[in-house]
């Protein structure tokens, strides 16, 4: 348990609740305790019911009871995933009590601020939280740019990671919006007396949160657009592969058609008792006599020449369309 006498800036380490209550009579005090020391909250007038109210929330919350303000904040860090550290703040006239804010307390004591108030120390905490959020945005930006590069330039499949990042950004957005509401409630609270300087710092923290919210929305849009571009690139590759396979199929069909002509002739010539000089007509169509060789030539024409011409016509059409694509 550590504390700072805000009136003098004196740093008290290893203090006890009893000694701090005596110091509280001398002037405003900032006390920070560890989460496993919450049993001593009642020593400073913080009821267990008030602590349970803020502790039960999963998102940042503002609560005011009996001239005491209770805040629950989340300190966000990025390490492959969003890590959340719970921070509790209780403030009333003359006392600022925090849980898990030891580093901020030590940093505030090193500033050497004399005659500081509870309101000033609270604004320092909120600005420190805003700086943490901005650092988080910088780390998220690097992560989003890396995903965008892998998707668009290197065409590496990152769909699962993109969806995970979008869910992560959405969870951050919820936290930021709730903290923004806290700034609004603090500006209108009556339990603390914020001066002009402190109100300007609240506005600064509020604007920083809005900036982070806008960045968060931009990151989600970038990931969505990058995923759409990746799907378009993959679709174009599949279409090009299908076109190449179609061309190969056409070439093989032409080869099969051409090679089928000798096979057909060989088959015909291999028929036993083939009437080479047959004079016997097979059928009559519209008064025309059809002889064996007439029928053979017609079948060869229908089975070879016409398909070859159709394939050639289709090939030329594809070539012309590829050289002169239609304008959209």
Domain layout of the chain by residue ranges: 2-234, 246-323
- Under a CB-based contact definition with an 8 Å cutoff, are residues 125 and 4 in contact? no
151 in Cβ contact with 227 (< 8 Å): yes
The architecture in CATH of the region 2-234 reads Up-down Bundle (1.20)
Q: Which residues of 186-198 are buried (b: 16+ CB within 10 A; e: fewer)?
A: beeeeebebeeeb
Whether the per-residue pLDDT at 165 is higher than 80: the answer is yes
Supply the pLDDT for residue 222: 86
Of 1 and 307, the structure prediction assigns the larger pLDDT to 1
**Are 47 and 66 contacting, i.e. CB atoms less than 8 angstroms apart?**
no
* Distance from C-alpha of 268 to C-alpha of 265, rounded to nearest angstrom: 5
Average pLDDT over residues 111-130: 82
Indicate whether 194 pLDDT > 50: yes
Residue % of the chain over a pLDDT of 90: 4
What is the pLDDT averaged over residues 301-326?
71
Angle 132-135-140 from CA coordinates, rounded to 5°: 125
Computed from CA positions of residues 150, 153, 159, 164, in that sequence, does the dihedral angle turn out positive or negative? positive
Which structure tokens are listed for 318? 């594809």
The per-residue pLDDT for range 206-237, each reduced to its tens digit, is 999 999 999 988 888 888 888 888 888 888 88
User: How are beta strands 95-99 and 82-92 bridged, if at all?
Assistant: antiparallel
Mean pLDDT along residues 83-106: 88
**Which positions ≥6 away from 33 have C-beta within 8 Å?**
1, 40, 41, 97, 98, 99
Residue 159, both tokens: 């769909």
Bridge partners, residue 85, by sequence: 75
> Rounded to whole angstroms, what are the CA distances from 269 to 266, 276, 284?
5, 9, 24
Tell me the three state secondary structure of residue 269. helix
pLDDT of residue 271: 58
User: Which residues, listed in sequence order, are joined to residue 285 by a DSSP beta bridge?
Assistant: 288
- pLDDT score, position 90: 92
Confidence of residue 193 (pLDDT cuts 50, 70, 90): confident
Residue range 249-275: average pLDDT? 64
């Amino acid at each position: 348990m550590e504390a700072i006498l805000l009136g003098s800036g004196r740093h008290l380490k290893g203090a006890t609740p009893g000694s701090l209550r005596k110091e509280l009579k001398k002037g405003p005090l900032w006390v920070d305790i560890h989460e496993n020391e919450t049993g001593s909250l009642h020593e400073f007038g913080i009821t267990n019911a008030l602590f349970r109210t803020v502790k039960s929330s999963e998102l940042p919350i503002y609560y005011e009871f009996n001239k005491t303000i209770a805040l629950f904040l989340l300190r966000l860090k990025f390490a492959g995933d969003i890590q959340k550290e719970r921070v509790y703040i209780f403030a009333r006239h003359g006392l600022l009590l925090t849980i898990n804010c030891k580093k901020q307390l030590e940093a505030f004591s090193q500033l050497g601020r004399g005659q500081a108030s509870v309101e000033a120390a609270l604004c320092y905490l909120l600005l420190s939280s805003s700086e943490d959020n901005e650092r988080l945005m910088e780390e998220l930006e690097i992560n989003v740019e890396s995903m965008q590069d892998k998707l668009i330039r290197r065409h590496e499949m990152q769909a699962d990671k993109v969806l995970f990042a979008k869910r992560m950004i959405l969870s951050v957005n919820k936290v930021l919006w709730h903290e923004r509401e806290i700034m609004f409630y603090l500006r209108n609270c009556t339990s603390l007396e914020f001066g002009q300087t402190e109100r300007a710092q609240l506005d600064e923290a509020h604007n920083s949160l809005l900036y982070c919210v806008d960045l968060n929305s931009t990151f989600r849009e970038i990931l969505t657009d990058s995923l759409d571009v990746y799907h378009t690139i993959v679709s174009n590759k599949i279409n090009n592969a299908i076109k190449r396979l179609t061309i190969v199929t056409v070439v093989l069909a032409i080869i099969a058609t051409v090679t089928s002509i000798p096979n057909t002739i060989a088959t015909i010539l291999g028929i036993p008792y083939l009437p080479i000089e047959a004079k016997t007509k097979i059928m009559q169509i519209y008064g025309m006599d059809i002889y064996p060789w007439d029928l053979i030539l017609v079948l060869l024409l229908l089975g070879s020449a016409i398909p070859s011409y159709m394939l050639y016509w289709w090939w030329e059409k594809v070539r012309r369309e590829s050289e002169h694509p239609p304008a959209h």
